[in-house]
Amino acid sequence: MDNKDVASVINDVIEACKDGEKGFNTCAEDIKKPELKSLFMKRAQECASSAHELQQLVRSMGGDPEDTTSVAGDLHRRWVDLKSLITGKDETAVLNECERGEDVAIKSYQKALEEDLPANVRTVLEQQYQGVKRNHDQIKALRNEARARD
């Protein structure tokens, strides 16, 4: 892969990180429980840091890094907003949507890691991917706990 192709792959993941940042912020706004609000805000910041790290990689290759969210991510957040209105911002519903967003992030990283990437890019993506999987598993566990209480 040449630098332009690698930058394109990274930019797709940056878009997913930006989606995650906005998605976690939306979930933080929609949740009443202070510890979940704090968790979502922390995850939003982690997504922003991941995006920034990847943007630096793209710049180091002479590329133009992505700095916006995806249309699909925007639509998902609108769906979260609508669903939250209908369900009264129910904790389980918010966690369901949060988990769905993390599913998308996992797929984005998996797709990128299928490519023939330079070692330094692969290392960064693999490290971030492990964090995304941890986020997903934590959100899923919290969602399951909330379901059990319902």
| pLDDT computed for residue 85 by the predictor | 54
* pLDDT digit string, tens, across residues 85-104: 555 667 888 888 888 888 98
pLDDT at 106: 95
125 contacts: CB under 8 Å, gap ≥ 6:
10, 13, 109, 112, 113, 117
Is the Cβ–Cβ distance between 27 and 94 less than 8 Å? yes
Buried b (16+ CB within 10 A) or exposed e, 90-118: bbbbbbbbbbebbebbbebbeebeebebe
Write the pLDDT tens digit of every residue in 60-90: 999 999 887 655 655 555 655 555 555 566 7
Tokens 């129910």 appear where?
Answer: 90
Give the pLDDT confidence of 128-145 residue by residue, as tens digits.
999 999 999 999 999 999
Tell me what pLDDT residue 48 has: 95
Number of domains in the chain: 1
CATH number, domain of 111, equals 1.20.1260.10
From CA 25, how far away is CA 29, in angstroms rounded? 6
Domain enclosing residue 107, as ranges: 3-149
Nearest to 24 by CA among 121, 104, 116: 104
First vs last Cα of the chain: how many Å apart?
50
pLDDT digits over 5-60, tens only? 999 999 999 999 998 898 888 888 878 899 999 999 999 999 999 999 999 999 99
